[in-house]
Amino acid sequence: MNFDTFGFHPRIAAGIAAAGYTSPTPIQNQAIPSVMQGSDLMGLAQTGTGKTAAFVLPILHKLLQGRQGGVRALIMAPTRELAEQTHEAIQALGSQTNLKSVSIYGGVGMQRQVNLLKHADIIVACPGRLLDHIRRQTVILSRVEMLVLDEADQMFDMGFLPDIRKILSYLPKANRQTLMFSATMPSQIRRLAEEILNNQVRVQVGNEAPADTVSHAFYPVAQHLKTALLLELLGNTGTEAVLIFTRTKHRAKQLGEKLAKAGFRSASLQGNLSQSRRLDAMNGFKSGKYQVLVATDIAARGIDVSNVSHVINYDMPSTPETYVHRIGRTGRATRHGEAFTLITGEDRQMVQAIHRAIGANVEQRTLKGFNYQASTPAVNRQNMSQTAQPQPAARQRTYRAAPQAAGRKNTGRQNRGDAKGAFAWVSAK
């Protein structure tokens, strides 16, 4: 199937070609025909599935049809990063149109946004700042004919539902088409969907099974050796982008600093950062300035970096859905990604829950040459090969040589770029 079947306006078709998209993703195939027909839609899809284009393309098409002037489409997003990325997708896919999009979020000056709002056809906004503009009457929403709530579950998690309800009260009700996208379906989101969607069409992709372009593995390790094992894993990994998840902001910050000390080009992304440092971390990760980005789940929402080669769960996520969501950050489009999870004795239940959720057992691995018996953590990458060498007796007791790794020595830094060299890379699905 290709994009011709949807009957997009030639200017939109030209934008699709300019973006280099040749065939629609499953969520696009499922959602676009209904949205083009004017139906309200509930899309259960995670980031990485192509959900943004699934709503952006029909919006652009529809806005080219009617009378232009005023804000006619409003897209609500939970984070600045997601708002910015969606705005960029609109600019790319709408590059052959004269439609104007603006991204609206807090932490930056109002006046520039006020000026841009005067000429906007499409707004991509975080709820808080949009409400500010509504209260100051610097935005008029009475012509909105398409509304999208993107990552609705995340907006709910972040406490935005009251703001969203307020914003809804400023929008026209008649003739408005509403689309909701969510990675999960908690009851509050289900209720909101029932309230604001009329005769909704429901589409769902990839919510239970992880993207099949991702291989994953669990690495059992003692809590105090997590950083040492992570350093060892990173030392043997190719130089593409690595996204690491931690449970808390504090742990993300600490780990980012430890990795930088150990010689990695790393940054951390967590809620406490100033806007300029967030942008530096995001853009630096995108451009390759940082090879490693450490983030919490909330901070990482909306990260759209297509070259993420590895997702590493430094801490086990708290739900199987979050696991699937996290590893959806790698293996995008046709690329192949690897997802590693460091697991401790406390994670046993979650391991079982993930197996149930994905319908398969994730292979457990030990890293050849790593000293699982060490009592103190080794955190200095410069002396990793020394600190991580097991004692001969321990090697016999503890280590299981992975087939690919047999006969090869883990030489830490030397092995960078030879991702398959020192330990077995898992292809279990």
In the complex, the residues that contact ligand AMP under the rule CB under 6 A are 21, 24-25, 28, 47-53, 304, 306, 332-333
Q: How far is the CB of 133 from ligand AMP (least distance, A)?
A: 25
Of the pair 51, 62, the CB lying nearest ligand AMP is at 51
Written as six digits, the tokens of 10 are 């030639």
Nearest approach in angstroms of CB 284 to ligand AMP is 18
Q: Which is nearer to ligand AMP, 35 or 217 (CB)?
A: 35
For 83, 295, 349, 423, the CA distances from 315, given in Å and listed in that order, are 27, 11, 14, 21
Least distance from C-beta 63 to ligand AMP, angstroms?
19
3: left (phi > 0), else alpha (psi -120 to 50), else beta? alpha
Neighbouring CB atoms inside 10 A of 49's CB total 23
Beta-bridge mates of residue 103: 124
Least separation, in Å, of the C-beta of 105 and ligand AMP? 17
Kindly tell me which of 217 and 327 has the beta carbon lying closer to ligand AMP.
327
Closest CB 20 distance from ligand AMP, rounded Å = 7
Q: How far is the CB of 142 from ligand AMP (least distance, A)?
A: 29
Of the pair 154, 371, the CB lying nearest ligand AMP is at 154
Distance of CA 64 to the CA centre of its chain: 30
Q: What is the CA radius of gyration of the chain?
A: 23
Q: What span, in angstroms and rounded, lies between the C-alpha atoms of 85 and 304?
A: 7
148 vs 367, beta carbon nearer ligand AMP: 148
Nearer to ligand AMP, 79 or 385 (CB): 79
| Minimum CB–partner distance for residue 3 and ligand AMP (Å) | 8
Residue 319, burial from CB neighbour count under 10 angstroms (0-12, 13-18, 19+): middle
Q: How far is the CB of 332 from ligand AMP (least distance, A)?
A: 5
Closer residue to ligand AMP in complex, CB, 239/306: 306
Closer residue to ligand AMP, CB minimum distance, 21 or 160: 21
Q: Of 34 and 52, which has the nearer Cβ to ligand AMP? A: 52
For ligand AMP, which is the closer residue by CB, 40 or 81? Answer: 81
Helix axes 127-135, 110-117, angle to 10 degrees: 70
Give the Å distances, CA to CA, from 45 to 5, 172, 249, 328. Answer: 22, 27, 26, 11
β-partners of residue 149 are 76, 180
Report, in Å, the least distance between residue 293 CB and ligand AMP: 16
CB of 271 to ligand AMP, least distance (A): 21
